[in-house]
Structure formats: structure tokens, C-alpha cells
């Protein structure tokens, strides 16, 4: 399970972040990475989310290669049950496919952060017919699955912090989309729920 979890996050990062970023850049000549280093709320949330990703990688690496050190991350023994771990692993697998499919549906509109410079198409098809934020929904479920697989104070903190940051980012993006796409987005918002 240790190596599988490490491989999972390496594949997730590669296929759900790096590959679509490269694909959009190659197709449009525009970098889809839009998180900066200013003092804006958007960039600050991006900075904190990057820290959450690094914390997740740290927990996985410590669990995989330094099991004695992992004890200092305060594992929650009563939640370390094979059934819960299997549920968590199943959620991780489902979310992996869900996010990749949502990435394909986004096509050239894929961005990491808010793109103030290039107006992208408002995607309303595929998984976006059921959720306005299928990728963020997948990430929320992924954090929960990760917690079930490796229940600890550290993974619980990552779950809570990551979910809070996603909630804030989604609201920033919704405000941006309402400004950019006006009534089209407002109509879409009436038809489709934020999550499911």
C-alpha cells in the first residue's frame, strides 16, 4: 500500500496537473498556470494550497520511507482499519478517473488559478452538466480518501485546510466567472449546483 500511495500521487500530479498544463500551453501558447506571488487573496490562497500539496507529499514520503518518523505525525489508531483504508483507496481510484475526465471536458479552458488576461470558454458539457466544479469536487474527495487511507493528525489537518482553501478558491472563481460571462454564467449557476 505504501508504494501504491506514492505512485498514486505521482500519477495524479503528472496526469491531472502537468499533462493538461502542457497540453493547453502547446495548443494555445498561453500558460494555464495563473497563480502569482502578489498580495492578492487569489495568489495567497494559491500559495497556501501549494503548501497543502507539499504537506501531502511530505506525509506520503514519510509514511513510505520513514515509518518511525511517521509516528510523530500522530496516527489515529482507531481509524486505521482495513475497511476504512479500502474505502479510502476506492475513493482515490474513482476520483482519479473523475478528475481526468473533467480535465478532458475542460480542454483549452483548463487553468490553475484565475486567468484575467485570456477569456476562456465557459464549459457546461460533460461532467460540468452535473457539477460546476467537478475537478475541485474530486480534489475534496481525494483529500478525504487520503485521510481514510492514512488517518493521522497531519492528514486531518491537510483535509481541513485543503477543503477550506478549495471552498474559498471556488467562490473567487465564481465571482470572476459572473463578471466575465455575465448572464450566461448566472443561467448556468441556476441550472447546475456548485458540487453535485
- What is the set of domains in the chain, with CATH numbers? 2-191 (1.20.120.1630)
| Helix, strand, or coil (residue 170) | helix
Span 169-183, average pLDDT:
96
Rounded to a whole number of angstroms, the distance between the first and last alpha carbons of the chain is: 30
What cell numbers appear for 172 in the block?
473567487
pLDDT at 3 over 90: no
pLDDT at 195 over 80: yes
pLDDT at 2 over 90: no
Write out pLDDT tens, residues 85-135.
999 999 999 999 999 999 999 989 989 999 998 889 999 999 999 999 999
> Residue 137's closest CA among 126, 128, 150, 124?
128
Q: What is the pLDDT of residue 157?
A: 98
Write out pLDDT tens, residues 60-88.
999 999 999 999 999 999 999 999 999 99
In degrees, to the nearest 5, what angle opens at C-alpha 77 toward C-alphas 74 and 82? 125
Q: In whole angstroms, give the CA distance from residue 148 to residue 86.
A: 8
What cell numbers appear for 167 in the block?
471552498
What cell numbers appear for 146 in the block?
487520503
**Given pLDDT bands bounded at 50, 70 and 90, which one contains residue 1?**
low
* pLDDT averaged over every residue in the chain: 95
β-partners of residue 112 are: 33
Answer yes or no: pTM beyond 0.85: yes
Span 151-168, average pLDDT:
97
Span 51-62, average pLDDT:
96
Is the separation of the CB atoms in 55 and 158 below 8 Å?
yes
Amino acid at each position: 500500500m505504501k508504494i501504491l500511495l506514492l505512485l498514486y500521487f505521482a500519477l495524479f500530479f503528472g496526469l491531472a496537473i502537468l499533462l493538461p498544463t502542457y497540453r493547453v500551453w502547446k495548443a494555445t501558447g498561453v500558460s494555464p498556470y495563473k497563480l502569482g506571488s502578489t498580495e492578492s487573496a487569489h495568489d495567497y490562497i494559491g500559495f497556501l494550497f501549494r503548501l497543502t500539496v507539499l504537506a501531502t507529499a511530505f506525509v506520503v514520503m514519510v509514511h513510505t520511507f520513514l515509518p518511525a518518523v511517521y509516528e510523530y505525525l500522530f496516527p489515529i489508531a482507531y481509524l486505521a482499519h482495513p475497511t476504512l483504508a479500502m474505502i479510502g483507496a476506492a475513493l482515490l481510484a474513482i476520483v482519479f478517473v473523475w478528475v481526468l475526465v473533467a480535465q478532458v471536458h475542460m480542454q483549452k479552458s483548463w487553468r490553475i488559478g484565475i486567468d484575467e488576461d485570456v477569456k476562456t470558454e465557459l464549459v457546461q458539457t460533460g461532467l460540468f452538466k452535473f457539477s460546476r466544479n467537478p475537478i475541485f469536487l474530486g480534489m475534496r474527495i481525494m483529500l478525504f480518501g487520503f485521510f481514510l487511507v492514512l488517518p493521522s493528525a497531519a492528514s486531518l489537518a491537510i483535509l481541513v485546510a485543503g477543503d477550506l482553501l478549495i471552498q474559498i478558491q471556488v467562490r473567487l472563481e465564481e465571482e470572476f466567472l459572473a463578471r466575465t460571462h455575465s448572464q450566461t454564467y448566472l443561467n448556468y449557476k441556476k441550472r447546475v449546483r456548485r458540487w453535485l
